[in-house]
Structure 1
Amino acid sequence: MRKELNIGYLIPQFPGQTHIFFWRELQEMEARGATLSVFSTRMPPKGLISHNWSQAAIARTEYLVRPDPLGTLAALAALPWGDLRGDIKREGKALLREIILCAAAARQLVKSCKAQGITHIHAHSCARAALIATLANRLSGIPYSLTLHGPMSDYGIGQNLKWRHAAFATIITEKLLSEARDQLGPDMPDRVVIQPMGVDVDAFSRQSPYVSPSPGQPVKIFACGRLNIVKGHQDLLQAVRLLKDRGIPVQLEIAGEDDDGGNGYRQILESRLSELGLADTARLLGAIDGDAVKQKLLEAHVFVLASWHEPLGVAYMEAMSCATPTIGTDAGGVRELIVDGESGLLVPPKNPDALADAIARIATDPGYAMALSKGGRDRVVTNFRSSLGAETLLREIGE
């Protein structure tokens, strides 16, 4: 490292159920000598705080979004409105409203950065967290960077403003890079790096070789992802029903919770599970911590995530790192992670029949299951270990 780095690490609603990647990355950066201060917009709902490291993360996180009328007025008075006028004119009152909502948080971020000697902010989102970082830059000049984790349409308005002033950006797939270039045009930063998310391949590993299911033994299927319609859990339930109808015994466990802490889409999935007659076959585990996820992966014969759209997929990486044969959907950027037939299987999204066929193939062909087990592990170790993301951020921030 060419110079000592003191970084503000900004993550929305941290620590959420899918945030283990961020926790790994910040630890990797600190292990390489950087100083990190963690910021977040607000705390996630209680039902989504599930990791054994969550309380340690909360204790070191400063939450920026809070009622602060005087801070809002002070920040709004200090903003360079001439610089913002063009974006507001183009995107209208909705962007102005977002700026007003984020102004006090940006002012607080500036105060904390000055007090702690922070010289760079990295926003791991292109939604409201990115706007807070942008406004902090407009208020104080502190440089910032962004990571794009999914389609830009998922992150709301003001994208040209957020990206125009960024020192650099990382984007997790080539597909998303192409989409960003098309949308941003000249507002794309000069420095943009393709850097996938990653996993701790030492932590997510197995001590004994993968063993495929024996004839007549129930196929243990594990899925892990937010309980949301786009994650395709309902398609996986339908595939399990098809497998049972074919006489293939299966057991399914789904880890994850909905964004309402169990009061939202979970109830729809519970009803669907009952309608399909899977009460003795499938279980919804709720949000579980990383150690429990790893244990489930090691016990499973196959990991399945049937997302309708997935930018890349840390859950796939964790399964592949554990050498558990993995089935994903050919949607979004997943094919940049899973090489079909080599490091896992890809099926069309929203296709329970194809999903059932893929599970059945792994269940009935031990040699093929073993090949996918090895191929998945090799793919992640080579290209998707978490240390790569930390190294990229430190290199780019140090430029």
Structure 2
Amino acid sequence: MKIGYMVPQFPGQTHVFFWREIAELERLGAEVELLSTRLPPIGLISHGWSGEAIARTEYLGRPKLAASLPALARIPARVWTEARRGGFLSDLILCAEPARRLARRCAARGITHLHAHSCGRAAMIAALARLCHGGPTYSVTLHGPLSDYGPGQALKWRGAAFGTVITRRLLAEVGAELGPEVAGRCVVRAMGVDTEQFVRNVPYAPPVPGAPLRIFACARLNAVKGHAELMEAVALLVARGIDARLDIAGEDDDGGVGYRGMLEARIAELGLGDRVNLLGAVDEAEVLARMNAAHVFALASWHEPLGVAYMEAMSCALPVVGTAAGGVAELITDGEDGVLVPPRDPEAMAAAIAGLAADPEHCLRLGRAARLRVAMAFDARLGARAIFDRVAATARATARSDRRAVPPAHALAEARS
């Protein structure tokens, strides 16, 4: 079974879970062909495996207007009408020529199914490749609210053989927005973590009163990730006499020349220059080392579809403090395997971290429960298996349909006579 695996701007700083899934799909017996729209900014290419991933990936590149004209002519009139009414004409035009190239690439490489790990333009390219150029069957994964991935969702999902969504909350949104028939073709399965890789190499040592409290956060530098609020929480902890130190792994979407500057200014305003460290985009080994050294993992996102970084910390038996926003509550049960606080509330975040700092036994209990939770329900192998099984089922259904479409030999003989 040969699967095309398409991720926008691959390999980016947050794409380690894709790499894990690719490895597991191959272990299951799939032959995986990597595809992407284009490379990410250079500052976001940070992993030890990035070079191998780039060498394996076919990049569709930006569309060229002259080359787009034949592809645009293949789009049915009803789709043009839908795009005008739905406000995605520009997306349709931009995706037409990459879709033609994608279909040709899949045909040349014998790719029988394409999985688009996005519901943005990558999904539209997959849909147009199938609809307009006889491309392979395809599927999509929804990683966040539909509104985050632009218009034209009905077109993207209509031709999909199946979809995966990372939370029950998102499945309900798909049903409400696109109808029960589409939701019925979806399975809830989150991207997971390699629980054999993300494991402690030293026993967890809880915080000691009076000693430095090491807090670790890992997420791209973006306002919605709540790094500014987490910094404010650190300032509150320091004001209460707690020697808090915060390391943040992640870079902004512009490769370090965007939102990072605003965070650096906020660090200076709060007087935290010697307490908050922006690490930039780092590889998986560095993330693991920081988690092994930390007392607490904290993330103050305004909203979070689910959170692979939470899973990584939990897999390392590290007590986590997160926000009750988006789908996080489907991963973390407050007081049982982590602590949840309201989003955009530095005071609540500071109180939760201070509570853990004052209760070493509670830290140990949360860490043990967190490790068990992730190992049981969020291992990366589960997500790969869900895609593998669905692709195999799609291949079987397509083969049955093809056999029904071919007349039996005796009918052909009669027709010739």
Q: C-alpha distance in 1, partners of 2:379/2:225?
A: 23
How far is 1:205 from its partner? 0.1
Match of 2:83 in 1: 88
Q: C-alpha distance in 2, partners of 1:46/1:381?
A: 33
Say whether residues 1:349 and 2:347 are aligned partners: no
Contact 2:107 2:135 (C-alpha < 8 Å) held by counterparts: no
How far is 1:119 from its partner? 0.3
CA 110–189 in structure 1, closer or farther in 2 if over 3 Å, else same: farther
Match of 2:95 in 1: 102
Q: How far does the alpha carbon of each residue in 1:146-196 deviate from its partner, in whole angstroms, 9 at most, with x for none? A: 000000000001001101110000000001111111111266164210001
Contact 1:160 1:187 (C-alpha < 8 Å) held by counterparts: no
**Aligned partner of residue 179 in structure 2, secondary structure:** helix
**Aligned partner of residue 398 in structure 1, secondary structure:** helix
Q: 2:275 aligns with which of 259, 281, 288?
A: 281
CA 67–164 in structure 1, closer or farther in 2 if over 3 Å, else same: closer
Q: 1:77 aligns with which of 49, 73, 78?
A: 73
Contact 2:321 2:340 (C-alpha < 8 Å) held by counterparts: yes
How far is 1:269 from its partner? 0.4
Give 1:291-302 correspondences, 5 Å limit: 291-302=285-296
Contact 2:103 2:135 (C-alpha < 8 Å) held by counterparts: no
Q: 1:311 aligns with which of 305, 311, 314?
A: 305
**Aligned partner of residue 43 in structure 1, secondary structure:** coil
How far is 1:89 from its partner? 4.1
Q: C-alpha distance in 2, partners of 1:203/1:325?
A: 18
Say whether residues 1:170 and 2:164 are aligned partners: yes
Match of 1:323 in 2: 317
Say whether residues 1:16 and 2:8 are aligned partners: no
Counterpart code for 2:304: E
Q: C-alpha distance in 2, partners of 1:89/1:239?
A: 47
**Aligned partner of residue 188 in structure 1, secondary structure:** helix
Counterpart code for 1:58: I
Q: TM-score, normalised by structure 1?
A: 0.96
**Aligned partner of residue 14 in structure 1, secondary structure:** coil
Q: 1:371 aligns with which of 365, 368, 371?
A: 365
Q: 1:119 aligns with which of 109, 112, 117?
A: 112
Q: 1:205 aligns with which of 199, 204, 208?
A: 199
Match of 1:133 in 2: 126
Gaps of 5+ in 1: none
Q: What is the CA RMSD across the aligned residues, in angstroms?
A: 1.1
Match of 1:147 in 2: 141
Gaps of 5+ in 2: 394-417
Counterpart code for 1:124: H
Say whether residues 1:382 and 2:376 are aligned partners: yes
How far is 1:90 from its partner? 2.4
Counterpart code for 1:49: I
How far is 1:132 from its partner? 0.5
- Indicate the percent of aligned positions where both proteins have the same amino acid: 57
CA 67–128 in structure 1, closer or farther in 2 if over 3 Å, else same: closer
Contact 1:163 1:189 (C-alpha < 8 Å) held by counterparts: no
Contact 2:116 2:140 (C-alpha < 8 Å) held by counterparts: yes
**Aligned partner of residue 315 in structure 1, secondary structure:** helix
How far is 1:61 from its partner? 0.6
**Aligned partner of residue 388 in structure 2, secondary structure:** helix
Match of 1:32 in 2: 28
**Aligned partner of residue 217 in structure 2, secondary structure:** strand
Contact 1:168 1:189 (C-alpha < 8 Å) held by counterparts: no
Counterpart code for 1:113: C
Give the 4+ runs in structure 1 shifted more than 3 A: none
How far is 1:99 from its partner? 1.1
Q: How far does the alpha carbon of each residue in 1:29-60 deviate from its partner, in whole angstroms, 9 at most, with x for none? A: 00111001000111000011111111111110
Q: TM-score, normalised by structure 2?
A: 0.92
Contact 2:113 2:136 (C-alpha < 8 Å) held by counterparts: yes
Counterpart code for 2:128: L
Match of 1:66 in 2: 62
How far is 1:209 from its partner? 2.0
Pairs aligned (count): 392
CA 225–215 in structure 1, closer or farther in 2 if over 3 Å, else same: same
Q: C-alpha distance in 2, partners of 1:166/1:160?
A: 10
Say whether residues 1:236 and 2:230 are aligned partners: yes
Q: C-alpha distance in 2, partners of 1:193/1:65?
A: 31
Counterpart code for 2:361: G
